[in-house]
Homo-oligomer: A and B are copies of this chain.
């Protein structure tokens, strides 16, 4: 009874992101996801909120940049910084982004003599759908910090902000990723959930595409894509779920890459130029990550439908509340029902049936 058959190689992760009491986003999502795959996770929480902002009302506090630095100093003074991976997500201010960047630099410095022994995955949480939801000074803070990142996970809007390339056509995606490789020397990029049908592609509107790249030695991108069916629900925390699964699956792919056994001791885990895009550890990891996610989100959809049906039976429309109050109550109920069903579907995190495959991405 080893119990380890479904677990990834031993991995110690420092996770810096938000914490919510109820539901699954930020570190609350990422911690359990990584733990269930066998990772040891140390969490520094950048906010302490009652729930995620999708509810449209939240109570709680933000962690100051100074408090983030002090928690890290607490780890450092007791020699508790032997992390293999840093995963960083939402930071509530430019100063907090800088603090995270300094922590990453310190961890990189400690690992300098052992190439490949430390890897930083950064989700540059700034906005979505054409709109920033952080202060404007967070953008330059990220542009500075990400130069030390090994893999970044922007959505389409964040890729535009970082690259300076407005993505209006399919070809713009390649240009944006190339610019991110070139401008910031970031070896790995994944742009999460692009709707290609909006960019003039004949891809069905019901398809979301994830496009990733590991840089080649000449600086050019090595692009792959994975299509997944879009689910008709506004989930929260899926970006954090993607990032957390990626920590475990990328390290697993690098450590088990039989054709490139030296990869795990190569700086930033950059595969040799002769590795095809679809054979990249980044690509095979993405296949597993998206397969796990799709299963869990489909189960979440089913559970959501059942929960809302049960709630409808119990509802009382004669309680004297206004239309507006009833609408908001309905919104709260739907948001709660849409919380990702992680706990009871942990088997799909640990042992996904891989149903999505990476293809070489050619934007022409």
Q: Could you tell me which A residues sit within 8 Å of B by CB distance?
A: 1-4, 7, 10, 14, 19, 21-23, 28, 31-32, 35-36, 38-40, 42-45, 48-51, 55, 57-61, 63, 67, 70-75, 77-80, 329, 332-333, 335-336, 343-348, 351
Contacts and interface: CB of A to CB of B under 8 A. Distances in A.
**What 8 A-B pairs have minimum CB-CB distances, sorted nearest first?**
A50-B74, A3-B347, A59-B74, A22-B80, A22-B42, A21-B42, A59-B70, A50-B71
Given A32-B32, A38-B343, A345-B3, A67 B78 contact: no
Nearest to A339: B40
Contacts of A42: 21-23
A19 B58 CA distance: 20
Contact of A57 (B60, B78, B348): B78
A36 to B, nearest CB: 7
A35 B38 contact: no
A19 B61 CA distance: 15
A30 to B, nearest CB: 13
Oligomeric state, in copies: 2
Given A22-B80, A48-B71, A58-B74, 6 more contacts: A19-B45, A21-B75, A22-B78, A50-B71, A50-B80, A59-B77
B50 A48 contact: no
Contacts of A44: 21
Contacts of A59: 70-71, 73-74, 77
A345 B4 CA distance: 8
Nearest to A79: B332
A21 to B, nearest CB: 5
A332 B22 CA distance: 34
26 contacts: A3-B347, A4-B344, A7-B344, A10-B344, A22-B42, A22-B75, A28-B43, A35-B36, A36-B36, A38-B344, A48-B48, A48-B63, A48-B71, A50-B70, A50-B71, A50-B72, A50-B75, A50-B80, A51-B74, A51-B80, A60-B67, A78-B332, A78-B335, A78-B336, A79-B332, A80-B336
